Amino acid sequence: MNILIVHNYYRIPGGEDVVVENESRLLEEAGHKVFLYTRHNSELDSMSVYKKLMLPLSFIYSGRTKADITDLIKEKSIDVVMVHNTLMFISPSVYYAALKCGVPVIQVVHNFRLLCPGAALYRNGHICEECIENGLHRALRYSCYRDSRIFTLACVLSMICHRRLRIYEKLYYICLTEFGRSKLLSYPGIKKERVFVKPNFTGPPKEIIPYEQRENCAVYAGRLDELKGIREIFYAFRDMGEKAPLLYVCGSGPLEEWCGEFIRENSLSGIRLLGRIEHEEVIRLMGRARVVLCPSKWYEGLPMNIIEAFSVGTPVIGSSIGNVAAVITSEGLGRRIDISRGSQAVKAAVLSFFYGPGSYEYDEQAFKEARERYGRNNNRVMLEKILEAVVDNG
């Protein structure tokens, strides 16, 4: 099968980018021909002032994308197009180009962009579903995309335009969890038979360090962002005082400077801010740790850090909402916390992994099942079945 994978890379690398690269390799190893069409938000740095002013229009339509995709489909005899992210440069024009060529399109749903201009269903410290319940115009009131009224307006106009053209009803979808599928189906017009569920997956099996031999440390791996609960983690480790285990923080983002200042102001030598490091080093740190932290304040897509933690047999402290809760299915895999309680919830959960009574009990069978569920072989079978069904149905 000839497969075209389309993705607009973010300025700060994240889980979606890893998924694109993982799935491309997986399909190639399975004998498929994979072609990539990518753009990168860093292109913004070299754009002229005029092009930057015109950029919001590309949210709605991109002549370049339409021409490029059409040429690729014809030149490479593409059977199916898989789309990940279209913002900021690709736009929904990719859908029209593919469908006009008679090629089916699968949109992989990593977030809630089809329902919410901000993509997270989160605003001002809490879950927000106003655009689902009351209409997209609500996003304009709060400047939900990039905290900009102009960019938010561009997003809203794009969504309204393409909804009226009913393009989203003509696509197929891969959601990462049943929770994600249920949210997507709140969009009127999308038929449930067009929406599949397939989780992300991890790389080849890693050596598992026995839990009793793990270091007295925790790991946070992800974007340093308000939505991820990074402030709550730092407050919790400050408040634990001498009981706080060592914490490795891997990643970058808008709160990176705040994190550094917080460590200095509170003399927290036990928090190691590592920045963006090699992916294999992140996995190695997870495999040495007693717990990985993921106290997200939004629903999430399907955090790669959780399934990567499972792949090395490390439990996760995660929030009790959305897709994080959907993945931590038993106490053997970790703890689900009420993140609305803030840093106190994080503190109590972390301490339970390092001190009794009520301390965490390792569940080898739960991790074995999780590694199979999110493993390469299982994912390849699921993905190929979806691709075959989509191509057969057209």
Q: Which structure tokens are listed for 116? A: 């919410």
Domain identity same for 259 and 324: yes
Q: What is the pLDDT of residue 49?
A: 87
Q: For all residues of the chain together, what is the average pLDDT?
A: 95
Whether pLDDT at 370 is above 70: yes
Domain identity same for 184 and 57: yes
Is residue 384 very low, low, confident or very high in pLDDT (cuts 50, 70, 90)? very high
Nearest to 8 by CA among 145, 149, 103, 108: 108
Q: What is the pLDDT of residue 358?
A: 61
CA dist., res. 293 & res. 228, Å (int): 10
Burial class (CB in 10 A: 0-12, 13-18, 19+), 218: buried
Is 206 part of any domain? no
Is 139 part of any domain? yes
The total of structural domains in the chain comes to 2
Domain identity same for 237 and 177: no
Q: What is the pLDDT of residue 214?
A: 96
Q: Percent of the chain beyond pLDDT 90? A: 88
Is residue 103 very low, low, confident or very high in pLDDT (cuts 50, 70, 90)? very high
Q: What is the pLDDT of residue 235?
A: 99
Is 149 part of any domain? yes
| pLDDT tens, residue by residue, 312-326 | 999 999 999 999 999
Is residue 357 very low, low, confident or very high in pLDDT (cuts 50, 70, 90)? low
Is residue 143 very low, low, confident or very high in pLDDT (cuts 50, 70, 90)? very high
Domain identity same for 228 and 123: no
Q: What is the pLDDT of residue 55?
A: 82
Whether pLDDT at 33 is above 80: yes
Domain identity same for 220 and 328: yes
Whether pLDDT at 359 is above 80: no
The CATH number of the domain holding residue 48 is: 3.40.50.2000
Is 219 part of any domain? yes
Other Cβ atoms less than 10 A from the Cβ of 129: the count is 17
Q: Percent of the chain beyond pLDDT 70? A: 99
- Phi/psi of residue 294, each to 5°? -145, 65
237-240 long-range Cβ contacts below 8 angstroms, 24+ apart: 237/268, 237/270, 237/271, 237/347, 237/350, 238/262, 238/266, 238/268, 239/343, 239/344, 239/347, 240/347, 240/350, 240/351
Domain identity same for 160 and 256: no
Nearest to 161 by CA among 111, 95, 209, 212: 95
Q: What is the pLDDT of residue 251?
A: 95
221's enclosing H/E stretch is: strand 217-221
What does the chain come to in residues?
394
Other Cβ atoms less than 10 A from the Cβ of 349: the count is 21
Stretch 89-112: mean pLDDT, rounded? 98
Is 182 part of any domain? yes
Does residue 334 contact residue 328 with C-beta atoms inside 8 Å? yes
| pLDDT tens, residue by residue, 178-226 | 999 999 999 989 999 999 999 999 987 788 999 999 999 999 999 999 9
Domain identity same for 389 and 318: no
Q: What is the pLDDT of residue 267?
A: 97
Q: Could you tell me whether strands 126-127 and 172-175 are parallel, antiparallel, or unpaired per DSSP bridges?
A: unpaired
Does residue 249 contact residue 277 with C-beta atoms inside 8 Å? no
Domain identity same for 277 and 144: no
Is 19 part of any domain? yes
Q: 206 CB contacts (<8 Å, ≥6 apart)?
A: 283, 287, 311, 312
Q: Which structure tokens are listed for 90? A: 């690709």
Q: Which structure tokens are listed for 4? A: 């075209």
Whether pLDDT at 133 is above 70: yes
More confident residue, 49 or 323: 323
- pTM for this one? 0.92
Is residue 126 very low, low, confident or very high in pLDDT (cuts 50, 70, 90)? very high
Is residue 355 very low, low, confident or very high in pLDDT (cuts 50, 70, 90)? confident
Domain interval for residue 112? 2-201+375-393
Does residue 365 contact residue 332 with C-beta atoms inside 8 Å? yes
Stretch 255-268: mean pLDDT, rounded? 98
- Inter-axis angle of helices 49-58 and 149-164, to 10 degrees? 40
Quick check: helix, strand or coil at residue 58? Answer: helix
Handedness of CA 186, 191, 194, 197 (dihedral sign): positive
Q: What is the pLDDT of residue 204?
A: 79
Stretch 263-288: mean pLDDT, rounded? 97
355-360 long-range Cβ contacts below 8 angstroms, 24+ apart: 355/243, 360/290, 360/291, 360/315, 360/331, 360/334, 360/335
CA dist., res. 270 & res. 218, Å (int): 10
Q: What is the pLDDT of residue 51?
A: 82
Whether pLDDT at 98 is above 80: yes
Domain identity same for 162 and 256: no
Least confident window among 13-22, 231-240, 363-372: 13-22
Domain identity same for 16 and 74: yes
Burial class (CB in 10 A: 0-12, 13-18, 19+), 185: middle
Other Cβ atoms less than 10 A from the Cβ of 366: the count is 18
CA dist., res. 13 & res. 51, Å (int): 24
Domain identity same for 369 and 384: no
Is 243 part of any domain? yes
Domain identity same for 261 and 279: yes
Is 83 part of any domain? yes
Omega of the bond prior to 357 within 30 degrees of 0, cis? Answer: yes
Stretch 124-130: mean pLDDT, rounded? 94
Q: Which structure tokens are listed for 336? A: 């689900």
